[in-house]
Structure 1
């Protein structure tokens, strides 16, 4: 991005061209992306790494995607439950498939501190699709 040309300026506003504004927004997005990458790379790599085939097999074997994501992060059920502000027994029941998870529970898990959804399991892929691959 070159220099931004100011079209007009007051004490409260600055007017720039649409193309300059879009370039500014793109640059901010790039900075946020770089910060997220740096944060992800700085995170301790204590979790389990599964291959694509292992992921496929676990989903076919009804291993909970929540458990897979938790193990990838190297978190215990207690740590994830605390981070997601839910009880450990409830998280355990979700992982075992004994209770369906609510939308609120999934949202809590997705935004829990220390949990990264950078490399999520594709929850939208059905077993039939996985079985064909």
Structure 2
């Protein structure tokens, strides 16, 4: 960290630091907040999940595979037919909001995680 100056303007104390030091400070605070969320039990995704999503793979299939569920397992848990789930995973159908919510619950993910 570079030089920090303490200054007073109109009777109020301020700290002056470089923009680079300020950005480092903010990055550290954000990293601490993320680590606190992880320590509190928030799930984080492994790199292969992040890469699969970034490469445009179907999120329902990605998370189903990650959760080690078969198409039949997930369809049953979500209360939909296996062919319908297969069509959602292949992109032939998008699925209603209700169905996507049930899939998200069955996969234990947020709805935002599976909406393409």
Q: TM-score, structure 1 length as denominator? A: 0.46
The answer to which structure, 1 or 2, has the higher relative contact order (CA under 8 A, 6+ apart) is 1
For structure 2, the residue ranges without an aligned partner over 5 or more in a row are 1-40
- Report the counterpart of residue 117 of structure 1 in structure 2: 109
Q: Deviations over 1:25-60 (max 9, x none)?
A: xxxxxxxxxxxx6xxxxxxxxxxxx732x2343224
Give the Cα separation in 2 of the matches to 1:73 and 1:58. Answer: 14
Give the Cα separation in 1 of the matches to 2:52 and 2:76. Answer: 25
Give the Cα separation in 1 of the matches to 2:46 and 2:93. Answer: 28
Corresponding pairs, count? 75
Task: Give the CA deviation at 1:72.
Answer: 1.4
Pick the structure with greater CA Rg.
2
Q: Does 1:105 align with 2:99?
A: yes
- Residues 51-70 of structure 1 aligned to structure 2 (within 5 Å): 51-52=46-47, 54-70=48-64
- Report the counterpart of residue 96 of structure 1 in structure 2: 90
The structure richer in helix per residue is: 2
Q: Does 1:86 align with 2:80?
A: yes
For structure 1, the residue ranges without an aligned partner over 5 or more in a row are 1-36, 38-49, 127-133
- Report the counterpart of residue 24 of structure 1 in structure 2: none
Give the Cα separation in 1 of the matches to 2:92 and 2:65. Answer: 19
Task: Give the CA deviation at 1:122.
Answer: 4.2
TM superposition outliers: structure 1 runs of 4+ over 3 Å: 120-124
Compute the RMSD of aligned alpha carbons. Answer: 3.1
